Structure 1
Amino acid sequence: MPLRRIRNIFWWLLVVSLLTISIFLALGSPTSPTAIASVTHLEPAPGEILYRSQTKLDDQSGHVWQVVLFKQIYPGQNTSVNLRLVGFPNSAELIHPQPLKITTASGQVFTAVDVFLDEAPAPTIGQYDFQTILPQLPNEPLQLAIPLPGQKSINISVPYPVVLEWREVMRDGA
């Protein structure tokens, strides 16, 4: 009798353990794309205002990129809106100056000018002028194509909620 009871307890614990593991894997599934951005408002210096949306997105190879859209407002000067892409370790080195290609889900193509004319702060950083492009972009997912040497590119998918946050950054301080 005790052996049978031990066996039943063992099977019960095994089933509960497998069920628990399945639930945790389903909640944190690596196949479900997540993109959580956050819009912040900063005042780095008196009169200077910075609005920013920041998130981490994967490229087609699974490398992680920090994607930051920011709007800078300086007293008595023009407002600037830029998109900065920062590759994490093992990301490709970017070449400058090369435009960023933006493709909408409906097939429209835009190009953003590379802000770093000669040299970026690090080889895996790119920054692009979004001042005139952002107002033209539709509210739909985007595909960013970062140019590499030899007619190759790195593709990063930008989900719809992130595009909406970019619009919020554009409206703030307007």
Structure 2
Amino acid sequence: MVNIIRRILTVGILTIFLFLGLGDFTGQSAIALTTKIEPVPEEILYSSQTKLDDSSGKVWQVVLFKQVYLGQKSNINLRLVGFPGSEELIHPQPLRITSNTGQIWDAPDIFLDEAPAPTIGQYDFNEILPILPTEPLNLAIPLPGAKSINISVPLNVVKEWKLLTINNKVKYE
């Protein structure tokens, strides 16, 4: 129980630092909000939520979330929700993640046929998040005709995402 309280306090303090901008000295203005909820017994949902603009100025809600179930491996997904006027996404298409140093990863599309709405995408980050470098990233969502939607993820948001890889083992008491 003490470990859980300590972990919650640590995440809370780090979130406050990120919220105040003390964790990022690059001048980026994006602020992410980390939350922890228990939607049902024996399930904990951690999430980092922010709004980011794509390269054409359209706003996207970017939500990275980790679901932890008693006795099971955690599940980490990134959900992108386009606000009105955003491009419609095609499924299934992987999300391409590129680091500033040129490393590239493809996150599989969770929606194999159809999403809940045409401007929603959700991608499997289970294997990718633990190996992502702590540096600004670019997300590229493929569109028809070799076009893509590009969203820059600032350093402070990436740092918050990395916090979700901490505490993979949760004790239920």
Fold match (TM-score > 0.5): yes
SS in 2 for 1:62: coil
Which residue is 1:61 aligned to?
56
Q: In the alignment, residue 146 of structure 2 is paired with which amino acid? A: Q
Where relative contact order (Cα < 8 A, 6+ residues apart) is larger, the structure is 2
With normalisation by structure 2, the TM-score equals 0.80
Equivalent residues of 1:51, 1:172 under 8 A apart: no
With normalisation by structure 1, the TM-score equals 0.79
TM superposition shift of 1:77: 2.8
Q: In the alignment, residue 163 of structure 1 is paired with which amino acid? A: V
1:165 aligns with 2:160: yes
SS in 2 for 1:45: coil
Cα shift readout 1:75-131 (whole Å, capped 9, x = no counterpart) = 233211000000000000000000000000111010000001111000000000000
Aligned positions of 1:5-84 closer than 5 A: 33-84=28-79
Percent pairwise identity: 68
TM superposition shift of 1:173: 4.1
TM superposition shift of 1:33: 4.9
Q: Report the count of equivalent residues.
A: 143
- Compute the RMSD of aligned alpha carbons: 1.1
SS in 2 for 1:167: helix
Cα shift readout 1:112-153 (whole Å, capped 9, x = no counterpart) = 000011110000000000000011111100000001111110
Which residue is 2:4 aligned to?
none
Equivalent residues of 2:43, 2:70 under 8 A apart: yes
- TM superposition outliers: structure 1 runs of 4+ over 2 Å: 75-78
1:154 aligns with 2:149: yes
Structure 2 segments unaligned to the other structure (5+ residues): 1-26
